[in-house]
Amino acid sequence: MHIVTLRDPSAPVVARYAPSAGMIGISLTDSGVELLGQRGGLDAYLAAGKTMGIPILYPWANRLGERRYRVGGQEVTLEPDAFGVRTDPNGLPIHGLLAGYPRWRVMTESANELTAELDFGADSALLASFPFPHLLVVRVRLADRSLTVRSTVSALGKPVPLCFGFHPYLQVPEAPRAQWVIETPRLRHLFLDERGLPTGDVAEQPPIHEALGDKAFDDSYDEVPDGAVFAVCGGGRRIEVHFEQGYPAAQIFAPAGEDVVCFEPMAAPTDALRRGGYRCAQPGHPAVAVFSIRV
């Protein structure tokens, strides 16, 4: 497997990506200290879609409320044996179709930048579950202690719903999880039911600046402004996730008993592909979304 190593030209920060394993970020280190949760590792991701590092959740992030959705009058059913479809413990389709997907094409590769393309419309197995032909280009650049991920969706023939996201697993090895401090901007909290789906109830949430302690998060938010910053600090280290452009929704995930916290940039809230509330990439007008992780 071809692993791409990116090196910050001005700092001892190194990132590693595996394009042929679903264009997943598998490592981000600062002076040799690993800052991404490895969980089951790349093997478990390839074998069973068990997330680690920085996976792309595409074409939908988080879960769908059922195996059927409708876009512009077109109804789509996700068949039980459909390629790439994985389910959560409640049987709901989760995290899209591209976990471990091998057919990414590396377009450019340099000391600190990687660009890869996926022709979604060229794969009938993908189109069976998301029948919207398009090109997806992901460019990753490491500079000035920031890993910047820019995604561009170019529609080929008809609008493409934008409901994807990324799932960066962050860790701060210098301090125990209970001492990590998390920071968020002011957000709108979306209440979830027991299956992790929005109920329709919302509440304004003031900025958070608090120790993680023994708290667990699996919480959804929307109305995230461009430029919003989420952070985790501990042991003299600070890691920020900047929602720079095109990610108006977020999920905060910090499971109990696991030393990771995730600030997930999402192009639309959970289950938006069924409920609506997403934007589309229009033919001739590529859609761009950008987030960065600053160490």
Looking up tokens 């809230």, which residue turns up? Answer: 269
Would you state the pLDDT for residue 146?
Answer: 98
CA dist 53 to 5, 167, 212, Å? 14, 8, 20
Give the DSSP H or E segment for 124: helix 124-127
Q: Using CA atoms, how far apart are residues 42 and 53, in angstroms rounded to an integer?
A: 9
Would you state the pLDDT for residue 80?
Answer: 85
Residue 125, helix vs strand vs coil: helix
Q: Which of 231, 227, 226, 221 is nearest to 268 (CA)?
A: 221
Which tokens belong to 280? 């589309």
Domain boundaries, the chain: 4-294
Which portions of the chain are predicted below pLDDT 50?
none
Task: Give 128-163 pLDDT, tens digit per residue.
Answer: 999 999 999 999 999 999 999 999 999 999 999 999
Give domain 4-294's CATH number out of 3.60.15.10, 2.60.40.10, 2.40.50.140, 2.70.98.10.
2.70.98.10
Q: Using CA atoms, how far apart are residues 155 and 161, in angstroms rounded to an integer?
A: 10
Would you state the pLDDT for residue 72?
Answer: 87
Which residues touch 57 (CB under 8 Å, ≥6 apart)? Answer: 95, 96, 98, 164, 165, 166, 167, 264, 266
